Amino acid sequence: MKKGWNIVPMGELCSISSGDSDTQDAVADGPYAFFDRSKTIKRSSRFLYDCEALIIPGEGKEFLPRHFKGKFDLHQRAYALFDFHAGLDVRFLYHFLHHRADYFPSVAVGATVKSLRRRHFENLPVPVPPFPEQQRIVAILDEAFAGLATARANAEKNLQSARAIFESHLHSVFTQRGAGWVERRLKDVCEKITDGTHQTPTYYDEGVIFLSSRNVTGGKINWERIRYIDDKQHVEMHKRVAPRLNDVLLAKNGTTGVAAIVDRDVTFDIYVSLALLRARNELLPKLLLHFINSPLAKQQFNKRLKGIGVPNLHLEEIREVVIPFPESLAEQKAITTKLDNLRRETQRLAGIYERKLAAVESMKDSLLREAFAGNL
């Protein structure tokens, strides 16, 4: 610890209190901010506090502070830090709590929903330098983070733009078709539309590969995060469906309407959360894949979603979805080639912007480490 810095329990630096409001107390057009466990700031018709405060969720997975000045309402499962010691810069504590983002998750209690207690706040040791040093550190961090926020916003905007360009082109392919195009229901152009086992399997450390919807959420099969089943279960599951190269796997439960093509000639089985579509000879599997991932297909899927809470696509609804495509296989191949190339370029650009976003977060972490080691 740098000379002149003192370690002080946070309970000695501020008052700490939870609210007494509940979710139903939120109103759409309330004049006051209402903080609860979510990242969204709601509105309230009343206020419990009128001060400068750091507000932290008391339940969940992420316990990062918000800095607020003024009148606000507070949920009973959220905490406010206020009435700060005269020798403490509020922004210094704000940045420190971001620096120690690992602390609250590590001490939170509960088997399912993690929650905090007042003692977790009171006992947190805070390194406190002299007030002028706090102000100097805060000035450096605030300025640096403002610049990083701009860099992050630009990277996110570019990432969204790259993906939007591909989505727009994909949409135009299937909506601005020319002569020689036909429309068919998926059940008429697929020799098989089915799903995987409806029984939750017993998993093993090795054996036959078993895939679920979580393996296709990125539009490409993730062969790394896989599970395994034994030969006995595999034999039974293969009686229902035996996936093979160039089949299209569609996530139909939870994150719906995202598909990937089987790009490896390996033996595996699938769960009920995946639908398998096997194209007939009149339709190229890759064109089927691009259609299913297109906005036009998603519009049809969304109209057919069933269930409350976790949405799902029933097989009979998938079979009725209409796909437009050119009858000419040569034209289908030309379209898929162009879309494949554009998708690769989009992924290349997305990779660049995602690395920039990661670099921004790394820079923030590095600055915070240096700041609270007394090295700024």
pTM score: 0.71
Q: What integer pLDDT is reported at residue 255 of this predicted model?
A: 63
**DSSP of 10-22, one letter per residue?**
GGGTSEEEE--B-
| Angle between helix 131-175 and 295-304 (nearest 10) | 90
Copy the structure tokens of residue 307. Answer: 């269930």
Q: Looking at residue 325, what is its pLDDT?
A: 96
Q: Which residues lie closer than 8 Å to 131 by C-beta, 6 or more apart?
A: 87, 88, 89
In the block, residue with structure tokens 């001490």: 107
- Complete DSSP assignment for 308-366: SSS-B--HHHHHH-EEEEES-HHHHHHHHHHHHHHHHHHHHHHHHHHHHHHHHHHHHHH
The pLDDT of 3-12, averaged and rounded, is 92
Question: CA 106, 110, 113, 117 torsion: positive or negative?
Answer: negative
The C-alpha atoms of residue 332 and residue 283 are separated, in whole angstroms, by: 8
* Residue 237, pLDDT score: 95
Decide if 257 contacts 274 (C-beta within 8 A). Answer: no
pLDDT 10s digits, 158-191: 989 988 998 899 999 999 888 999 999 999 999 9
Distance from C-alpha of 57 to C-alpha of 79, rounded to nearest angstrom: 6
Its sign, for the CA torsion 44, 45, 47, 50, is positive
Instruction: Give the model confidence (pLDDT) of 90-99 as tens digits.
Output: 999 999 999 9
The Cα–Cα gap between 170 and 295 comes to: 8
User: Taking a C-beta distance cutoff of 8 angstroms, is the pair 79, 58 a contact?
Assistant: yes
CA–CA distance, 276 with 211 (Å, rounded to integer):
12
Say whether pLDDT at 199 is over 70.
Answer: yes
| Neighbouring residues of 59: CB distance < 8 A, sequence distance ≥ 6 | 37, 77, 110, 113, 114, 115, 116
Contact of 259 with 175, CB cutoff 8 Å: no
Question: Which DSSP helix (H) or strand (E) runs through 53?
Answer: strand 49-57
Q: Taking 70 as the threshold, does the pLDDT of residue 254 lie above it?
A: no
Q: How many C-alpha atoms does 361 have within 13 Å on its Cβ side?
A: 8
